Structure 1
Amino acid sequence: MNSPIRLSVIAAALSCTIATPVFAQAETAPSAAQELAEMRAQLAALVTRIDQLEGELAEEKAASVAQDATIAANAEAVAAPAPAVEPQVATLEKKDGWSFKPRGRLMYDVGFTSVPESTGRDDGFGNEVRRARLGASGGLGGGFGYKFELDFAGNEVEAADAILTYEDGGLDIAIGHHNNFQSLEELTSSLHTTFIERAAFTDAFGFERRIGASVSYSTGIVLAQAGVFTDNFDDTGTDNRGFDGRVVVMPKSGNTQFHLGGSLHYNDLGEDDASVRYRQRPLVHFTSERFVNTGNLDADSEFGIGIEGAVISGPFHAAAEGFWQNVDMPAMTDDPTFFGGYAEVGYFLTTGDSRGYKGGKFDRTKPESPVGEGGMGSVQLSLRYDYLDLNDAGIVGGIQNGYLASLIWKPTNYTLFSLNYGKMDYTDAVHAKADGDTDYTVDAFGIRAQVDF
């Protein structure tokens, strides 16, 4: 109630109070005093009620103002775009250090190969689910952790990483099925390579995950890795026993990241009738044709030496590797040494983007302006020369020279589309043309759609 109304009410009450004694003169004196006291009490009660009503009215006005402010704020929030938040996969955690994080990837490839018709080899359209993995990783408390993934591609279920780990500062110990320490290209996740398939020598020389135990130690710019391994999950019946080691120096100057490394590989085949075979496809995996192939070679052991180097500076990167694989063959006078390597350069056509690097290998590229946040993602162009020589010491497995180009579009951190073209120039190919010529070219074209979490 406002002040004018309050004053009017009080004035009316006072008038009644003053007039009452006049009309009460005919009454006795004690009766008049009693009535006057009652009227004063009523007046006090009336004033108290007026104060109560004023308080309630003030509260209603405050609530109304707050409600109007809330409605206006909500309307403004709806009109304004929500701040961009990078999607996160839910991780279950407990206080004792235990955690569970689901992980997975899906890669679908499609394309074609073009082969000289007179060779009689298959070519044309091809497609496949290249990788379809599901798994989980997390912590177990006390520095212990785990990682487990299954791959369902190719109508088969195969184990990828299946390891128990322990970390303490720069020390990392792993036991289980995981990559041994060969090649920057091999150790870089398939999610982050610049071509849909790795360099030819990594597959030709049988680089793969194996069961074993390894130790990695990183301090400053130096990373040292070593491990002992048997064979992969599918070949546990073999007697393979191997050792792998790798050292990487990774200095940084300003915004430029350098990488220089070397590796050693030794594998004792452990059987009297053991053999090895080195061969490779023409760039794409969905073809089963190989135009370089040593066939099965009776061998006691393998010994390999690799060198690797890379540089990342803003949108530009370059990388190169070489690997020599020597095979101990008792039946041969001279043991053959085969060689593979590559050199590549890449450049981002979009502003602010750069290739990721972490822990002695290439890592995830995160677009500066992803789709959904006002940008178009990142676009990267890469060129590569890829070389594989399987001719030595009287063995003619063929030579493959690959001239490759790749265009990658990453709309977001976790989606990727890639176009690849390769012209493979062969010398001493294992499949001759009708006229007996073994020197010719094969064209390969591949497209990949990829998502991971």
Structure 2
Amino acid sequence: MLQAQVETLSARLDEIEDEADATQASVVANTAAIAAPEVEDDGIEVGFSGAPEIEGEGGWSFKPFGRLNIDAGTVGLPDGLGLEEGFGSELRRARIGVEGDIPGGFGYKIEVDFAGGSGELTDALLTYKTGDVKLTVGQHNNFQSLEELTSSRWSSFIERAAFTDAFGFERRLGVSAEYKSGDVMVQTGVFSDNIEDLPGKTFSLDGRVVYSPEIGDAQLHLGGSLHLTDIESGGTVRYRQRPLVHFTSERLVNTGNMDAESEFGAGLEAAAIAGPFHIVGEGFWQSVNMPGAADDPGFFGGYVEVGYYLTGGDSRGYKGGKFDRTRPANPIDEGGPGAWQVNLRYDHLDLNDGSIVGGTQNGYMASLVWVPTDYTRVSASYGHLEYDNAAYALPGGSTSYSADVIGLRGQIDF
């Protein structure tokens, strides 16, 4: 009888153990389900290209971007001018913005620059693209010069060519259209003033044509632009320029204020990129319709530049009718040296014509650019600038002299 009871208890104990094992398995399964619930695909994708880029269903996208330029250097002027010189520095740009797409072929971009201590709107625009045509409404660049349209993030010198600043190229509020098919691009638009200058009555028409074929491994660029501005009654214009760097307030060439009814500008562009080598040149002619003047004055600016990458596999970027980002073949975060580039430039600006004596500036320049990674950049620029008919005279009365300038820049963008 005792043996029979032991066997019964043993069988019951086995049943209890089986039930316990089943209960434990159920608890584990339920816990796993709670810890890792099923995720439904809502169509949102997050990528990364310098900054997060969010893409949603139907064509929505959102991407923040920005840049920081910190400049320093020295300006050496002849003794006796009595102008500010020596060491200088500034926060050249501190921009942040957002851009993206909206379903239906629309896009947007908003950018604010805080370098001056308060927010200044640089870009504020909406776009619509259908086929080969893109329409843009808002504040954006009009279509003057390859040098002006190329972002400051990719410039080969610390500042752009002298004529772009002297002739007042800037973003303006307007409506424009761009057609691009194959190697041909046509841009045209109607513009008013920069948003910071509104309300205003300035009215301009701008157009640019670019032909950019690839021949073998070489990228070619040929372009031309026209610019016509109607200036409100009683208005004036003034053309002047700094010696290479922005952190000095001195302008050694200066036409002074000129009464003006309109401006007319015409530019030519040519460039080529072949492996590590690039060459680029531009010329721009600007004339002013002065009321009552026997002959309207005309002015000229232009430059020629050559550049070469010292590091293997690196080349200057190009996209959409302008220079673009250089991505080092061997960035330092992968154990490489980054991309190293040397550039030489001759930069000419002539603000003399007829009764207007604004001076001439001839710049002989060299730069060294280091791109450690895709989103960082360090550059050094040197300029020897020679002046005739300068805006300021030496104690003996001479207006012909030279200046030497060094500019350094550290940059990060995303």
TM-score, with length taken from structure 2:
0.88
Is 1:130 paired with 2:92? yes
**What residue is the counterpart of 2:357 in the other structure?**
396
Cα deviation, residue 330, structure 1: 1.2
For 1:248-327, what aligned pairs fall within 5 Å after superposition? 248-271=210-233, 273-327=234-288
One-letter amino acid of the structure 2 residue matched with residue 92 of structure 1: I
One-letter amino acid of the structure 1 residue matched with residue 293 of structure 2: M
CA distance in 2, matches of 1:154, 1:444: 23
Kindly provide the CA deviation profile for residues 50-103 of structure 1, in whole angstroms up to 9, marking residues without a partner as x.
xxxxxxxxxxxxxxxxxxxxxxxxxxxxxxxxxxx9854112332132221101
One-letter amino acid of the structure 2 residue matched with residue 96 of structure 1: G
CA distance in 2, matches of 1:120, 1:90: 50
- RMSD over aligned CA atoms reads 2.0
Is 1:370 paired with 2:331? yes
For 1:163-202, what aligned pairs fall within 5 Å after superposition? 163-202=125-164
Is 1:100 paired with 2:70? no
CA distance in 2, matches of 1:111, 1:254: 41
CA distance in 2, matches of 1:319, 1:142: 38
2:312 to 351, 369, 378: 351
For 1:71-150, what aligned pairs fall within 5 Å after superposition? 88-150=50-112
CA distance in 2, matches of 1:97, 1:219: 23
Cα deviation, residue 304, structure 1: 0.4
Is 1:412 paired with 2:373? yes
One-letter amino acid of the structure 1 residue matched with residue 349 of structure 2: L
Cα deviation, residue 237, structure 1: 2.3
Contact 2:50 2:375 in 1 (8 A): no
Q: Compared with structure 1, are the counterparts of its residues 306 and 337 closer, same or farther at alpha carbon in structure 2 (3 Å cutoff)?
A: same
CA distance in 1, matches of 2:92, 2:63: 23
CA distance in 2, matches of 1:305, 1:142: 36
Q: Secondary structure at the match of 1:282?
A: coil
Q: Secondary structure at the match of 1:100?
A: strand
One-letter amino acid of the structure 2 residue matched with residue 435 of structure 1: G
CA distance in 2, matches of 1:347, 1:401: 23
Q: Secondary structure at the match of 1:203?
A: helix
Runs of at least 5 residues in structure 1 that lack an aligned partner in the other structure: 1-37, 43-48, 50-84
CA distance in 2, matches of 1:140, 1:363: 25
Is 1:445 paired with 2:406? yes
One-letter amino acid of the structure 1 residue matched with residue 309 of structure 2: F
One-letter amino acid of the structure 2 residue matched with residue 379 of structure 1: W
CA distance in 1, matches of 2:397, 2:344: 32
Q: Secondary structure at the match of 1:191?
A: helix
Is 1:162 paired with 2:128? no
One-letter amino acid of the structure 1 residue matched with residue 249 of structure 2: S
Cα deviation, residue 140, structure 1: 1.2
**What residue is the counterpart of 2:43 in the other structure?**
none
Cα deviation, residue 354, structure 1: 0.1
CA distance in 2, matches of 1:156, 1:291: 28
CA distance in 1, matches of 2:244, 2:282: 17
One-letter amino acid of the structure 2 residue matched with residue 282 of structure 1: P
**What residue is the counterpart of 2:18 in the other structure?**
none
**What residue is the counterpart of 1:434 in the other structure?**
395
Q: Secondary structure at the match of 2:58?
A: coil
Q: Secondary structure at the match of 1:332?
A: coil
One-letter amino acid of the structure 1 residue matched with residue 400 of structure 2: D
CA distance in 2, matches of 1:190, 1:268: 28
**What residue is the counterpart of 1:20 in the other structure?**
none
Whose relative contact order is higher, 1 or 2, with alpha carbons under 8 Å and at least 6 apart? Answer: 2
One-letter amino acid of the structure 1 residue matched with residue 218 of structure 2: T
- The structure with the greater share of residues assigned to helix is 1
One-letter amino acid of the structure 2 residue matched with residue 277 of structure 1: R
One-letter amino acid of the structure 1 residue matched with residue 285 of structure 2: W
Contact 2:83 2:250 in 1 (8 A): yes
**What residue is the counterpart of 2:35 in the other structure?**
none
Q: Secondary structure at the match of 1:437?
A: coil
One-letter amino acid of the structure 1 residue matched with residue 104 of structure 2: G
One-letter amino acid of the structure 2 residue matched with residue 431 of structure 1: Y
One-letter amino acid of the structure 2 residue matched with residue 103 of structure 1: F
Kindly provide the CA deviation profile for residues 379-408 of structure 1, in whole angstroms up to 9, marking residues without a partner as x.
000000000000002110000000011100
**What residue is the counterpart of 1:218 in the other structure?**
180
**What residue is the counterpart of 1:241 in the other structure?**
203
Q: Secondary structure at the match of 1:105?
A: strand
Cα deviation, residue 270, structure 1: 2.3
Cα deviation, residue 445, structure 1: 0.4
**What residue is the counterpart of 1:78 in the other structure?**
none
Q: Secondary structure at the match of 2:334?
A: coil
One-letter amino acid of the structure 1 residue matched with residue 370 of structure 2: W
One-letter amino acid of the structure 2 residue matched with residue 295 of structure 1: G
**What residue is the counterpart of 2:302 in the other structure?**
341
CA distance in 1, matches of 2:322, 2:302: 17
Kindly provide the CA deviation profile for residues 4-30 of structure 1, in whole angstroms up to 9, marking residues without a partner as x.
xxxxxxxxxxxxxxxxxxxxxxxxxxx
Q: Compared with structure 1, are the counterparts of its residues 88 and 129 closer, same or farther at alpha carbon in structure 2 (3 Å cutoff)?
A: closer
Deviates more, 1:248-257 or 1:162-171: 162-171
Q: Secondary structure at the match of 1:185?
A: helix
Cα deviation, residue 331, structure 1: 2.4
- State the number of aligned residues: 377
CA distance in 2, matches of 1:232, 1:311: 32
